[in-house]
Amino acid sequence: MQPKFYWVFICLGLTLSVVRAQELFLFTYPASNVPKNALVLRGMNSFFNRTADNTVSYHFMPELEYGITKNWMIVTNGFLSNEDNRVNLEGGSFFTQYRFYAHDMPQKHFRMAAWSRIALNTAKIHQEEIELNGHNSGIRIGLTSTSLLHRTAISGTISYQKAINNFNYVWPQAYGDQSVDYTLSIGHLFLPTQYKSFNQTNVNFMLELLGQTHTLNTKTFIDVSPVLQFIFKSRARLDIAYRRQLYNTLYRTQPNGVILNFQYSLFNLF
């Protein structure tokens, strides 16, 4: 085992030993949906380092999430970036998730959901990594399982995705256009130690592992992202994250960076 992987297992071990969290992960949706008739307004900002010239790649992804029923939610978002030295609207995606299993008990539950994403993008294709949430056009389908035990949340996903042409930009034949993706997300609720009201600020620490393997040539990357999360008055949420490449055999132009996310929830709209 390479030395850098020891830090992953150390972090996971420490997190699992004291983990206390909510199911509000940054890079993945848990199997628990947005509540029925609730609308979430979300704005994610990413600042990643371009390895070619050491400049900053900026992406902004405004998003709307809506709970149709307790088991079904839909999400739509847009993609803006500074790839041509100015901020341009490059595309968007539509995501839907259906929770098909729930075993709920007092202070704990286990849930499973199936989901899909369709994305359209006009950006230049500049790397082998397939990323439908901001870079590539294509389709993605997956499964998510999430377990909550008191104040502990663990969520895992497995998915398949296929990239297509970004309109005028053809997917390079040398790149694999299909991949299997997998994630593991773990959370830790630091504060409050005791709930007294919904106005208390929650402070969560999360660790997310994100991986991708191309089916054509088995090229792979694995990233880790620690996330510090603040929840204000049970409605507003702020995420501060750093994503770091741990292992990679793919050509990637922007593997490392900082993510800032803010969102606000509106409940009982109709």
pLDDT band at 37 (very low <50, low <70, confident <90, very high): very high
Q: What is the pLDDT of residue 23?
A: 66
Give the domain extent around 113.
3-31+104-263
Assigned domain for 118 exists: yes
Q: What is the pLDDT of residue 22?
A: 54
Residue pLDDT, tens place only, 39-94: 999 999 999 999 888 899 999 999 999 999 999 999 999 999 998 778 899 999 99
Assigned domain for 202 exists: yes
Assigned domain for 43 exists: no
Q: What is the pLDDT of residue 19?
A: 34
Q: What is the pLDDT of residue 5?
A: 43
Q: What is the pLDDT of residue 31?
A: 94
DSSP result, 188-249? EEEE-SS---TTSPEEEEEEEEEEEEETTT--EEEEEEEEEEEEETTTEEEEEEEEEEEEE-
Assigned domain for 269 exists: no
Assigned domain for 76 exists: no
Tell me whether strands 88-105 and 220-232 are parallel, antiparallel or unpaired.
unpaired
pLDDT band at 1 (very low <50, low <70, confident <90, very high): very low
**Residue 10 pLDDT exceeds 70:** no
Residue pLDDT, tens place only, 233-242: 989 999 999 9
Q: How far apart are CA 236 and CA 247, in angstroms?
A: 34
Assigned domain for 192 exists: yes
> How many domains are contained in the chain?
1
As a whole number, the mean pLDDT across the chain is: 89
Least confidently predicted of 96-105, 124-133, 193-202, 246-255: 193-202
What would the mean pLDDT of 236-249 be, rounded to a whole number? 97
Q: Smallest Cα–Cα separation from 242: which of 208, 204, 211, 191?
A: 208
Assigned domain for 86 exists: no
Residue pLDDT, tens place only, 119-158: 999 999 999 999 999 999 999 999 999 999 878 899 999 9
Assigned domain for 155 exists: yes
Residues 6+ apart with CB under 8 A from 72: 33, 96, 97, 98, 99
Predicted model pTM: 0.87
